[in-house]
């Protein structure tokens, strides 16, 4: 085990421990805010401590260009994957909103509705601006760690392993819907990291999805 892997493992254990307590505290309490900010700090510090992070690009390659005279092959650096990131978040948010409406209407899915309600109570209590800040910070921090440090530390099957570790950490909350969301988010952002070579697309996808859920789920399950 090298230094990067050891550092990642230590911070993963600390972060998972904090996450395990998070949904067991009173919504909107000072303890809840302290734990959420602390969790974001653990993921972010762990990511930067483990090694360098890259934002990634799409479209790198050789292009045939002609300005004056004969055409020549030139190497062009790709663009930052902003559209991929935001677009991925919009698609995921749409799928989850439709899924939430389905869960609300089908009575045999009541256990899932209770699991979602457990999460929604945290969005319904406390300071709305502070909850937005927490949502964004934790989304960014999770991606820097799991699609940054963890992804780089894993030698093989990076998408599968990084997603599995993300799901295990999230499952410690004891909430089945958060664990399910972690499977989907982890797989999508893991593939984005693989394709783009960086964490920008995963971060944009995650915060687009999570901010939408912050406002959409209470509207669905309280209305």
What tens digit of pLDDT does each residue of 155-214 get? 999 999 999 999 999 998 888 899 999 999 999 999 999 999 999 999 999 999 999 999
Alpha carbon separation from 50 to 9, 35, 57, 95, 202 (Å, rounded):
10, 22, 21, 34, 18
- pLDDT at residue 67 greater than cutoff 70: no
Report how far residue 50's alpha carbon sits from residue 15's, in angstroms, rounded to the nearest whole number. Answer: 14
Question: Which residues constitute the domain of residue 215?
Answer: 3-222
Are the CB atoms for 39 and 19 separated by under 8 Å? yes
Q: What is the pTM of this model?
A: 0.89
Report how far residue 70's alpha carbon sits from residue 189's, in angstroms, rounded to the nearest whole number. Answer: 42
Quick one: pLDDT at residue 68? Answer: 53
**pLDDT (mean) for 146-161:** 96
Task: Quote the number of domains for the chain.
Answer: 1
Chain-centroid distance of CA 17 in Å reads: 18
From 12, 24, 4, select the one nearest 175 (Cα to Cα): 24
């Amino acid at each position: 085990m090298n230094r990067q892997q050891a550092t990642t493992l230590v911070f993963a254990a600390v972060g998972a421990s904090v996450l395990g307590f998070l949904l067991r505290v009173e919504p909107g309490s000072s303890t809840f805010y302290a734990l959420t900010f602390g969790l974001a700090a653990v993921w972010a510090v762990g990511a930067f401590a483990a090694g360098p992070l890259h934002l990634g690009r799409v479209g790198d390659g050789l292009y045939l260009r002609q300005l004056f005279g004969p055409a020549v092959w030139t190497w062009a650096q790709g663009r930052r994957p902003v559209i991929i990131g935001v677009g991925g978040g919009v698609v995921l948010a749409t799928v989850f909103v439709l899924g939430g409406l389905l869960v609300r209407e089908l009575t045999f899915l009541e256990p899932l509705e209770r699991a979602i309600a457990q999460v929604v109570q945290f969005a319904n209590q406390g300071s709305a601006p502070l909850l937005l800040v927490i949502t964004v910070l934790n989304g960014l921090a999770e991606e820097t760690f799991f699609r940054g440090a963890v992804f780089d530390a894993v030698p093989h099957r990076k998408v599968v392993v990084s997603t599995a570790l993300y799901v295990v950490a999230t499952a410690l909350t004891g909430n089945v819907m958060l664990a399910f969301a972690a499977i989907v988010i982890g797989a999508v952002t893991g593939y984005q990291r693989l394709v783009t070579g960086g964490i920008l697309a995963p971060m944009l996808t995650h915060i687009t999805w999570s901010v939408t859920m912050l406002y959409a789920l209470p509207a669905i399950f309280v209305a």
